[in-house]
Structure 1
């Protein structure tokens, strides 16, 4: 294809040659530099290598959260509860992941699974039909990974929030939170709290550091 920028008229000679060569002619009012940048960004995204990961990708408070865990741990059920709480589904079961730029990784659903979620004992449901267009998104940046794991007595779990870990998706490190799952725990509410805490840390508010500073001051005062 040939794109003529800045709204310039397309010469008749160019139209004639394009017809002979079966070439598409396009016209844009955008300046050349801006058009070139937009085309480059578009092609980088569309031609990026895709990898597939297993999980549920949600938009929670504007944060892209990939929920992962072993089969049967309750990822889809948690996703459904989050949808009922007003958050948006991006992809269930299979998430196609690709690198948008050096610092950004994106996720989107496989076309055959778009807007669908599978629930054991119920089957496949169409989230868009049941909850409306506001309950789904076509793609999302992956900002945070949440890994659901079965609670095992005797295992050590992070209780202060200072055991920060990351997981690599398409060459981009993404912060990860591991949440032990046991009967009676409201996992969707815990994930919401994890997301709000993640946003607070990005804004410079770290409850763990605040607690550690208070503890240090208390020890110093009593010593």
Structure 2
């Protein structure tokens, strides 16, 4: 009855109650309106179902309340895949990202990337509000990528699927030439595949990074060029071994 409903709604109106949300456009009980007005708690109403609203709120709160970490680097989206560019200061991360934007890819964050764990296997990166859509290019200064290249050149956030670490070229270093090395970088307790790419004058880093991203996607889809090369090499060695065996004279 009316008195019991008033008692229940007043009990629900606590200091910790942010609002009331009514789904399916159901009518608001008169007692709820009275209690909410008295305790200054807003009442929201939506046409959506309870299940759908619960799902949306859960995803929103998970992202907003997730533990965050700040990474020094540049986050770009290459053909729909989030690629985090890392490396020492001055190695050319921002300039490389600018080249990728000119090739039709998207900038998410420059200089600093705020990352958070969306679920057990997914890490999302975005730009801090103060750096959103902005990029620093040495010799030019701060540029507004959205203003210069249009809305299609930027994105607010993306999943970090690959880390590409840019390192200055060292002629004495032993770089991976066949792709057998599989490195990872842990971000928010999630291991993310990492590729190290040496930088030196004359190398088109933008194209190399673009190809690295496409090759990584091909691996995820089941095609591994390194494995194909290994299989071809094994087959070739096997054929030569058979030929050498056939050439050896046999005693009756």
- Common fold by TM > 0.5: yes
1:143 is paired with a residue of what secondary structure? strand
1:92 Cα deviation from its structure 2 partner: 0.1
For normalisation by structure 2, the TM-score amounts to 0.87
Tell me how many residue pairs correspond in the alignment: 223
5 Å-filtered alignment, 1:63-212, equals 63-212=81-230
1:141 is paired with a residue of what secondary structure? strand
What is the match of residue 46 of structure 2? 28
1:154 Cα deviation from its structure 2 partner: 1.6
1:122 Cα deviation from its structure 2 partner: 0.5
RMSD between aligned residues: 0.7
5 Å-filtered alignment, 1:208-219, equals 208-219=226-237
Among 48, 59, 83, which residue is 2:77 paired with?
Answer: 59
1:135 Cα deviation from its structure 2 partner: 0.4
What is the match of residue 3 of structure 1? 21
Query: Partners in 2 of 1:210 and 1:166 — Cα distance?
Result: 22
2:117 is paired with a residue of what secondary structure? strand
For normalisation by structure 1, the TM-score amounts to 0.98
Query: Partners in 1 of 2:186 and 2:236 — Cα distance?
Result: 39
1:82 Cα deviation from its structure 2 partner: 0.3
1:197 Cα deviation from its structure 2 partner: 0.2
1:34 Cα deviation from its structure 2 partner: 2.2
1:6 Cα deviation from its structure 2 partner: 2.1
Structure 1 regions of 5+ residues with no counterpart? none
1:29 Cα deviation from its structure 2 partner: 1.9
Q: Which piece of structure 1 moves more, 132-141 or 8-17?
A: 8-17
Query: Partners in 2 of 1:198 and 1:10 — Cα distance?
Result: 53
- Corresponding position: 1:17 with 2:35: yes
Structure 2 regions of 5+ residues with no counterpart? 1-18, 242-252
1:213 Cα deviation from its structure 2 partner: 0.2
1:12 Cα deviation from its structure 2 partner: 1.7
1:86 Cα deviation from its structure 2 partner: 0.4
